[in-house]
Structure 1
Amino acid sequence: MCDQEKDLLKVKLEQLQCHFTWGPQRDNIDLDDMKQRLEDSIQTNEKYQGRFYNQLAFVNCLQGNCEEAIQNLKEAEKILRENHEDEFDKRIIITYGNYAWVYYHMGQLTEAQSYLDKLERICKQFPDASRYTSMIPEVYGEKGRSLLKSSSQYYEEAKECFLKALEEDPDNVEWNECYAIVLSRLETFPGTPENCEPTQSMKQFRRVLELDPDHGEAMVLLALTLQQSNQSEEALELVENALQASPNLPHVLRYAAKFYRLKEDLDKAVELLKKGLEMTPHSTFLHHQIGLCYRKKLLSVHKNPRSKRLGDPAFQQRAELIELCKNHFKKAFEPRPLTFIWAQLDFTRICTLNEEYENVEEIYNNLLKLGSIRPENKQAICLEAGLFELQEKNSEANAIIHFLEGMKVDCNSKERKKCRDNLKSISERQLRRNPRNSKAHGVLGLMHQLDGEKREAIESFEKALELEPDNEEYLSALCELRLSISDNNDFPN
C-alpha cells in the first residue's frame, strides 16, 4: 500500500469501536499495572477471560509487543467461539477492531483491511449499524468496562455507556453490576453530580442481587455502601454470605477485607488479603491494603508511652509493625513508582513516624519533580510535603511554598481544600503574632486569587503593599486583578 492508501486505512480504523479508539491511551493509564491486573484477572476469573485478553492485547500493542497482542486476540476469539457461539457476531466486533489496529501498527496493512472486511459483513446484520461498527449493548457494555478499568477521569463516560447498554438489555447482570460500581465510585468524588449519600448505587446493587442472589461481588460492594451509611448489621451479614458464596474470588476477598479494616477487625482483614495474595502474588493493590491494616495497628501501639522504651514488649511490637508497613508499601509502589503515588506517601508517613527524615526528604524531592501525573496526585504530594515541613521541620515558609503549589493545580479535590485551609491557618497565625507581616497578607492575597475571590485578594494585596510598597509580585497581582475586573466589567465579588 502507498502512503495515501495507508492514510485512508487509518481513517477507516478511527471509525471503529474498540480499545484503540476509546479514551484511555498511553499517557492516561499505567500500562505495567494494568497488564499485571489483567493477567491476574485471566488467571482467577474464567467468566470474563475473553474480555481480559482483548484489553491485554491493547496494552501489549501500546508497549510494542504486537506479536503477543495477536496471540491475546486469538485467545479472545477462541473463547468467544467456544462459549458464545449463538452470539458470536455480536461479541466479536471489538476483537476484530482490535485485530485491525494491531496489524496496522505492525505494518501488515492487507491483514488490517481483511478485518475491516469481516466487520463490514457482520455489521450488515444490524439495522442501525455504520459500515464497520454497530452500537449494540455488547459494544456499549465493553466500552464502559474498558473505561471503568482505566482511570477515574472516564467514569462519567463509562456510566453513560452502561446506561445505553441497559436501555436495550435491562436484565443483564453484568451491565447492572458495572453501572452500580461506577455510581458508587462517582458518589465519592467531589464535584460530580452523583456526589451524595450512596443511595443510587445502593439501589443498583440491590437490583443486581435481585437478578443474581449469589453475586458475591455485588454483596460485598453493597455491604461497603451500607457500612458508609451506618447500616452495619445488614452489611456484616452480606459480607459473610459473600465469603460463603465466593470464597476464592480475589475481588470479593479484597472488598471484604476493606469492610473488616473499616470495622477495626484488622486481623480478619489481613487474613483475607493474604489469601488473595496467594492467588495474585504481584497485586500492588493487596500489598497496599495490607500495609494500611498494619499502619492502623501501628498507630494504636504508637500512642502507648511504653512503645518508646527500649526493651519493652511494646517497643518491639512497634518496631515490627513499622517494618511490616514499610515492606508492604514498598511492594505496592516499587513496580509503579510513577503512578502509585498514594503508596509512596503512605511509606513516607511511616518513615516520618520513625524519624527517618533524610529518607522522607529524598522521597518528597523526587515526587515533587514528577511531571505528567494526575492533578489530585500532584496536590496530595504538595499537601504531604507541606505538612512535613510544618509539623516536623517547623518551617512555615517552606510549608507555604508547597501548599501554594498544591492550590495552583487545577483540580477541585479534598487535598486542594486542605492546602487552602493550612495556608489560611498559617497566615492568620502569623498576623496574630505580627499584624504588620506583609508576607502573610501577600499569601492570603495569592490564596484568594487562586480561589477566584477577587475582592478579598485585592484587599489582602493592598494591605501587603502598604507594608512593602516595592514588592513587584504583589504589584503585578494587584494590577492583574484590577484589569480583569475592568475588562470583564466585573464588580469585585
Structure 2
Amino acid sequence: MDFPLKCHLEKLECHFTWDLGCYKHKLQELSDDFHDMDQQTCTWQVHNNNLLGYIQYALGSNKKALLHFCKAESVIQEQGTEEAEARLQVNKANMAWVHFLLGNTAESKAYLEEVEKLQQMHPAPPGCMLHPEVSGEKAWTLVKFDYSKKRQSIDLFRMALKAEPERKEWHKGLASAMSRPLLMSEFTTDEVLKQLKRAIELDPDSVFLQSLYWLKLSEVPANYKNNYDKEVQSLLQKNIDTGNMEGLGVILQYFQNISVDKAIQEGERVREKFPTSPRVLRNVANLYKSKVYSMNKDSREKQALVEMSIDLFEEVLKHYPRNFKVKLSLATMYQNAHNIEKANEIYSELLLEKDDLPPDRLQYLYYSYACYLFHSRQSREDESILFYMKAAEIPDNRGCRQKCIKVLENTLKSGRDPRCEDILCLLQRIRQENI
C-alpha cells in the first residue's frame, strides 16, 4: 500500500472520508430509494450518482461504482459553468479513492492532482472552511444517515448558504433537515416554518416543500382547528397527474393526523393510478399497519386489514428484498395474523444479519424482537428481557432506548426475573454514561 498517497487522500473531502460506514442494509436501502426517484426531474443527479458510486463500491460492485462516478462527472461537464466545475472536487476525490482502493495507484495520483488544481482554482470563500459546493454536497449526503450526521448536515447547509444565500438547493436541504422528527426538538416551530417559507420562495414548484409546510403548520396547537385539506389535496393531485411521488409520504402523514381512515382513502386513490409503484405500495401498507395498531381487539375487520398489509409488504419486498423497515413491518403483521412461524423466520433472518446493521437499527431490531417475544410468549423463561437488555446497552438515547430502560426498571422492581442482578449492573452503567 502506498501510505504517503493514502495520507494525501485522507485529507480530501469526499464520500470515502465522511465516515458514512459500510452497513449493507442501510446502503442497500438508500440505493432502493434512488430507484424510486424520477431521475428526469431530479435536481440532485450529481449528488445521487456520487453517493450511489460510494454505495456500489461499499456493496462490492466496483464496475457500477465507476459508472456512477463517471455519470456524475458527465452531468457536471454538461452544465459547463464555473459553479459546476467546483462540484468536480468531490467527484474527482471519489475517483482518486476508488482507484486507490482498487490498486490503480497511477490513476489515483492523477485524480489527486486534478483535485488539488480544482482546490486552487476554486478556494473556499472567506469565513468558510469548505467551498459551498463541497459543504452543500456533504450536507446533502450526511442528512441521509444517522442522527449525529443529520445534526452535522444542518451546520454544513448553513455554511454553504453563508457563501451563497440565494441557493435554492441548500435552502431546501436545510428545511428538510430541520423538519426531521429527531431534530425538531432543537428548533422552534417558528424557526422550521420560517426556513420552509424561504425554501418555497426559491423553489415554488416543489411539492415536497409545500406538503411539508402544510404538515408542520397543521401541527401547531393554535392551528388545530384550521383546515388545510384543500391545499394538501391539490398537492396530492399533482402527484397523481405527474407521476412524481415527491412528498407523497408527507401528504399522507397530514391526512393520517386527521384520521388513518382518511389517509387510507387518499392512499388507495393514488394506488389505483399507480398499482405497481413500490413507493406507493409501501406508503399504503404502512397506513394499513397503523390502522391495525389502533385496533385493540381481534376481529374479522382487523384480520382483513392485516392480510391486506401483508400482501402489500410482500409485494414491496419483491422489488427490494433487503429492506430492513419493510421486513420488520412484515414480521409484526405476521404476528398480528397469528402466523408465528413466518414472524420467527423474518426475525431469525434479520438477527443473522445483525453485523450488517448500523447501531440505531440494531437497537430497534432488538427492541422489536423483545416486544415480539413478550407478546407471543414463546418461551418459559422470559427471553424478551435479554433482548431489552441488548437494546438498552446500545448507547443511543432516543425513544427506543428509553422504552427498554423503563421495561428493565419495572422488571427490577418486581424482583422476579433471574437476571435482576445483571439488569441492575446495566442500569447503573447507563446512568454513569449520562453523568
TM over 0.5: yes
| Contact kept in structure 2, 1:16 and 1:97, CA below 8 Å | yes
Q: Which residue of structure 2 aligns with residue 470 of structure 1?
A: none
Q: Which residue of structure 2 aligns with residue 461 of structure 1?
A: none
Deviations 1:131-185 (A, max 9, x none): xxx8211111011111112343411221111011011111211101111111112
Q: Which residue of structure 2 aligns with residue 272 of structure 1?
A: 270
CA distance in structure 2 between the aligned counterparts of 1:367 and 1:203, rounded to whole angstroms = 41
1:297 is displaced (CA, Å) by 4.2
In the alignment, is residue 143 of structure 1 matched against residue 138 of structure 2? yes
Q: Which residue of structure 1 aligns with residue 375 of structure 2?
A: 391
Which one-letter code corresponds to 1:171 in the other structure? E
Structure number with the bigger relative contact order (C-alpha 8 A, sep ≥ 6) is 2
Q: How many residues align?
A: 422
* Correspondences of 1:135-174 after superposition (within 5 Å): 135-174=130-169
Deviations 1:396-416 (A, max 9, x none): 733333333332222212122
SS at match of 1:416: helix
CA distance in structure 1 between the aligned counterparts of 2:18 and 2:119, rounded to whole angstroms = 19
1:86 is displaced (CA, Å) by 4.5
Q: Which residue of structure 2 aligns with residue 200 of structure 1?
A: 191
| Contact kept in structure 2, 1:173 and 1:208, CA below 8 Å | yes
1:258 is displaced (CA, Å) by 2.7
Q: Which of the residues 309, 312, 326 maps onto 1:325?
A: 309
Q: Which of the residues 80, 84, 90 maps onto 2:76?
A: 80
* Correspondences of 1:443-454 after superposition (within 5 Å): 445-446=424-425, 448-452=427-431
| Contact kept in structure 1, 2:285 and 2:312, CA below 8 Å | yes
Q: Judging changes above 3 Å, is the alpha-carbon distance between structure 1 residues 111 and 222 closer, same or farther for their aligned structure 2 residues?
A: same
Q: Which of the residues 324, 333, 340 maps onto 1:357?
A: 340
Q: Which residue of structure 1 aligns with residue 170 of structure 2?
A: 175
| Contact kept in structure 2, 1:427 and 1:443, CA below 8 Å | no
| Contact kept in structure 2, 1:54 and 1:76, CA below 8 Å | yes
Deviations 1:283-306 (A, max 9, x none): 5xx443221212244456774x7x
CA distance in structure 2 between the aligned counterparts of 1:155 and 1:125, rounded to whole angstroms = 30
Q: Which residue of structure 2 aligns with residue 215 of structure 1?
A: 206
In the alignment, is residue 226 of structure 1 matched against residue 217 of structure 2? yes
Q: Judging changes above 3 Å, is the alpha-carbon distance between structure 1 residues 17 and 439 closer, same or farther for their aligned structure 2 residues?
A: closer
Deviations 1:296-341 (A, max 9, x none): 44456774x7x4xxxxxxx3x555432221122334557767661x
Which one-letter code corresponds to 1:289 in the other structure? N
SS at match of 1:24: coil
Unaligned runs of 5+ residues in structure 1 are 308-314, 432-436, 455-492
CA distance in structure 1 between the aligned counterparts of 2:334 and 2:366, rounded to whole angstroms = 17
* Correspondences of 1:419-458 after superposition (within 5 Å): 419-428=404-413, 430=414, 439=418, 442=421, 445-446=424-425, 448-452=427-431
Which one-letter code corresponds to 1:218 in the other structure? L
| Contact kept in structure 1, 2:123 and 2:131, CA below 8 Å | no
1:250 is displaced (CA, Å) by 1.9
| Contact kept in structure 1, 2:334 and 2:343, CA below 8 Å | yes
When the two structures are superposed, what TM-score results if normalisation uses the length of structure 2? 0.83
Deviations 1:83-128 (A, max 9, x none): 3434332222222222222333343333333323333333332355
In the alignment, is residue 61 of structure 1 matched against residue 57 of structure 2? yes
When the two structures are superposed, what TM-score results if normalisation uses the length of structure 1? 0.74
CA distance in structure 1 between the aligned counterparts of 2:148 and 2:124, rounded to whole angstroms = 29
Which one-letter code corresponds to 1:422 in the other structure? V
Of stretches 260-269 and 104-113 in structure 1, the one that deviates more from structure 2 is 104-113
SS at match of 2:16: coil
In the alignment, is residue 49 of structure 1 matched against residue 34 of structure 2? no
* Correspondences of 1:258-407 after superposition (within 5 Å): 258-264=253-259, 265=262, 266-272=264-270, 278=276, 281-283=277-279, 286-298=280-292, 303=297, 307=299, 315=300, 318-332=302-316, 340=324, 342-372=325-355, 373-393=357-377, 397-407=382-392
State, as a whole percentage, how many aligned pairs show the same letter: 22
Unaligned runs of 5+ residues in structure 2 are none
Q: Judging changes above 3 Å, is the alpha-carbon distance between structure 1 residues 334 and 368 closer, same or farther for their aligned structure 2 residues?
A: farther
Of stretches 386-395 and 118-127 in structure 1, the one that deviates more from structure 2 is 386-395
| Contact kept in structure 1, 2:92 and 2:115, CA below 8 Å | yes
Of stretches 90-99 and 66-75 in structure 1, the one that deviates more from structure 2 is 66-75
Deviations 1:202-221 (A, max 9, x none): 22111112333333211111
CA distance in structure 2 between the aligned counterparts of 1:139 and 1:199, rounded to whole angstroms = 29
Q: Which residue of structure 1 aligns with residue 7 of structure 2?
A: 11
Q: Judging changes above 3 Å, is the alpha-carbon distance between structure 1 residues 383 and 329 closer, same or farther for their aligned structure 2 residues?
A: same
Rg larger in structure: 1
Q: Judging changes above 3 Å, is the alpha-carbon distance between structure 1 residues 28 and 179 closer, same or farther for their aligned structure 2 residues?
A: farther
Q: Judging changes above 3 Å, is the alpha-carbon distance between structure 1 residues 196 and 28 closer, same or farther for their aligned structure 2 residues?
A: farther
Q: Judging changes above 3 Å, is the alpha-carbon distance between structure 1 residues 282 and 8 closer, same or farther for their aligned structure 2 residues?
A: farther
Of stretches 391-400 and 257-266 in structure 1, the one that deviates more from structure 2 is 391-400
Q: Judging changes above 3 Å, is the alpha-carbon distance between structure 1 residues 114 and 387 closer, same or farther for their aligned structure 2 residues?
A: closer
Q: Judging changes above 3 Å, is the alpha-carbon distance between structure 1 residues 388 and 171 closer, same or farther for their aligned structure 2 residues?
A: same
CA distance in structure 1 between the aligned counterparts of 2:35 and 2:328, rounded to whole angstroms = 27
Which one-letter code corresponds to 1:351 in the other structure? Y
Q: Which residue of structure 2 aligns with residue 30 of structure 1?
A: 26
CA distance in structure 2 between the aligned counterparts of 1:160 and 1:360, rounded to whole angstroms = 42
SS at match of 1:397: coil
CA distance in structure 2 between the aligned counterparts of 1:135 and 1:453, rounded to whole angstroms = 37
Deviations 1:373-410 (A, max 9, x none): 33333333333333334333286733333333332222
Please give the root-mean-square deviation of Cα atoms over the aligned residues, in Å: 3.5
Q: Which residue of structure 2 aligns with residue 254 of structure 1?
A: 249
Q: Judging changes above 3 Å, is the alpha-carbon distance between structure 1 residues 251 and 277 closer, same or farther for their aligned structure 2 residues?
A: farther
Which one-letter code corresponds to 1:228 in the other structure? E
Q: Judging changes above 3 Å, is the alpha-carbon distance between structure 1 residues 380 and 274 closer, same or farther for their aligned structure 2 residues?
A: farther
| Contact kept in structure 2, 1:58 and 1:69, CA below 8 Å | yes
| Contact kept in structure 2, 1:214 and 1:245, CA below 8 Å | no
Q: Which residue of structure 2 aligns with residue 70 of structure 1?
A: 66
